[in-house]
Amino acid sequence: MYLNRQRLINWALRALLIAILVGFAGACGPKYEEMSAQQIYEYGENQFADEDFQDAIEAYEALIDLYPFSVFVTRAELGIADANFMKKRWPEAEAAYESFAKRHPNHEEIDHVIFRIGMCNYEQKLAIDRDQVFTQRAEQRFAEVLSRHPNSRYTTQAQQKLAEVRNELAERERYIARHYWREKEYYASYKRWERINRLFADTEYHEEALYYAARCLFKLDERGEAIRHLELLLEKFPEGDYAGKARSLLSEMQ
């Protein structure tokens, strides 16, 4: 009899403890419908500062849903993009930044938005033997930061990233050009080398492109253009890696 009574007491205490914990857990969660727009926004900012990015996103989204005309909505929209970026959710972050840029093209943080769009694409870029759409989009956005916001806090980073992705795009052209060269498809190879000379002359592949464009032109019996390319190479890179080869080929043609 005593044991049965003790079991009942223990069971009741356990049930009470569970009820208390469940109630406590429910009380801990924010009740957005009972909060003002400012309170929700500040809660989201605190969660963001604590690196609880998903909770921050949920708070910002609740603010937008409950108070669509609040002065805090624009900040919440940007907060959603930034939180997704910090979570390394690149497609979601890019979509949020793009949407923000369309709605607020003259916002004081637009340079931040454009740079982050570039970074979302930068983080998704593929190897040189794959489609370079992300690299191309990153190039466009980094260039946009520099052209539209030359005094931005992101200027130095944008310059560095732009140089990097442009080098990778030139490397892609080189990869294809060398393939055509090995296959003895000299015109197709020349067109790729010439794209480097025309579009990516500021990259490390320009000298090589001048040399191989000249070799392709030589194979295609376009000696005048081949000579022009070699002379330009020697003018720009008199002590370069291909200077000796360029002089040898030039003397052979002359």
Give the tens place of pLDDT for each residue, 44-96.
999 999 999 999 999 999 999 999 999 999 999 999 999 999 999 999 999 99
Distance CA 113, CA 248 (A): 51
The per-residue pLDDT for 253 is 84
pLDDT at 1 over 50: no
Give the tens place of pLDDT for each residue, 146-170.
999 999 999 999 999 999 999 999 9
* 221: region left, alpha or beta (phi > 0 left; psi from -120 to 50 alpha): left
Give the tens place of pLDDT for each residue, 110-141.
999 999 999 999 999 999 999 999 999 999 99
| CATH 1.25.40.10 domain span(s) along the chain | 184-254
Give the tens place of pLDDT for each residue, 23-55.
433 446 789 999 999 999 999 999 999 999 999
User: Can you give 46-103 as a three-state secondary structure string?
Assistant: HHHHCCCHHHHHHHHHHHHHHCCCCCCHHHHHHHHHHHHHHCCCHHHHHHHHHHHHHH
Contacts by 163-167 with C-beta closer than 8 Å and gap 24+? 163/202, 165/122, 165/125, 165/135, 165/138, 165/139, 166/139, 166/200, 166/202, 166/203, 167/200, 167/203, 167/204, 167/205
Q: Specify the CATH number for 184-254; select among 3.30.420.130, 1.10.8.640, 3.60.20.10, 1.25.40.10.
A: 1.25.40.10
Its pTM stands at 0.85
The per-residue pLDDT for 12 is 47
